[in-house]
Amino acid sequence: MDFTGSHHAKPNRPYLHQQNVQEDYRGQAITSTCHEVLGHKKHHHKEWITDDTLDKIQERRKKKAAINTSRTRAEKAKAQAEYTEVNKQVKRSIRADKRKYVEGLATTAEKAAREGNMRQLYGTTKKLSGNRSKPEQPVKSKEGEVITNIEEQQNRWVGHFKELLNRPAPLNPPNMEAAPMDLPINVGPTTIEEISMAIRQIKSDEAAGPDNIPAEALKADVVATARILHILFNKIWDEEQVPKDWKEGLLIKIPKKGDLSNCDNYRGITLLSIPGKVSNRVLLNRMKDCVDTQLRDQQTGFRKDRSCTDQIATLRIIVEQSIEWN
């Protein structure tokens, strides 16, 4: 996808020097380019159906048409017999294709499990189990009454997440002392090289935020995207304000175990703007090395190449060996 060629016309630039950052932010240029250049994915048939099976399906259509165009009973009987035979071949071929497809997915899942690739494992398992979407279930009010009206259900979810996420401030906040010294963190304007690195670090195959810009659109041409974002990021840096889409998120509810008519049995995740994540990644890259030197060796949570799970496993091994040898 080309953001610098004919599909990147000047009047539709994502970021222009205007009055403020919000007017500079024009994410529609990226999404409209994706629609124009890439279009929408078309699902003509199941992905596991082979070309040989598709040819047989096409032959079956011809035999079906021959039945409808038969003029005599003899012609119709002959066409019907030919259609029945071809139909059996199609069904056998489809069963063979699906069996081969499922066996391939099972092999992929086993390999992912051995290698510890949980992302691929869960994705493959989801394909095996089928993507069945359950109908929306009615929820209960705080008093335990079932709500069936759509608008009332939406208001119930709004109230639930407002209460869950907007907790009052603690009465006795912790007294946190100021850092004894300033860390040598770069606070200058963002560079194109920093933005390019941050774009490459953003994960792919993730849902887009309110601006509907996926990570793949930014990674399609990292150099061009970095130049575009560089104008916006520096304006944000100077004016100390960000686009409205970066302050908002799409709240998605994920069901947990238990009664799904109870709002407490759902967890919410927020889908944030991908360009906003790129900006945050630039800041994180500047901070992490300086902050990492100030942290204790025992702290492993949210640190690169460290894991709380590994520490728990190490502690368990030490305890078990101590019990065994003492």
- Domain assignment of residue 69, yes or no: yes
In 3-state terms, what secondary structure has residue 269?
strand
- Domain assignment of residue 240, yes or no: no
- Domain assignment of residue 252, yes or no: no
Q: Could you tell me if 147 and 141 are in contact, meaning their C-beta atoms sit under 8 angstroms apart?
A: yes
Strands (E), 71-225: 139-140, 146-147
- Domain assignment of residue 174, yes or no: no
Which residues span the domain enclosing 115?
51-128
- Domain assignment of residue 18, yes or no: no
- As for how many domains the chain has, the answer is 1
- Domain assignment of residue 310, yes or no: no
Structure-block tokens of residue 223? 């150099």
Distance CA 250, CA 207 (A): 10
Q: Could you tell me if 249 and 187 are in contact, meaning their C-beta atoms sit under 8 angstroms apart?
A: no
Q: Could you tell me if 69 and 91 are in contact, meaning their C-beta atoms sit under 8 angstroms apart?
A: no
pLDDT tens string for the chain (326 positions)?
343 333 333 333 444 444 565 555 556 677 777 777 777 776 666 778 898 999 999 999 999 999 998 889 999 999 999 999 999 999 999 999 999 999 999 999 999 888 888 888 888 888 887 766 666 778 898 888 999 888 999 999 999 999 988 888 888 888 877 777 788 888 889 999 999 999 999 998 888 888 889 999 899 889 999 998 999 999 998 888 888 889 889 999 988 888 888 999 999 999 999 999 999 999 999 998 888 888 888 888 888 888 888 889 999 999 999 998 87
- Domain assignment of residue 110, yes or no: yes
- Domain assignment of residue 273, yes or no: no
In 3-state terms, what secondary structure has residue 15?
coil
Q: How many H-runs (helices) and E-runs (strands) does the chain carry? A: 12, 4
In 3-state terms, what secondary structure has residue 53?
helix
Give the strand pairing for 146-147 and 139-140. Answer: antiparallel
- Distance, first Cα to last Cα, the chain: 66
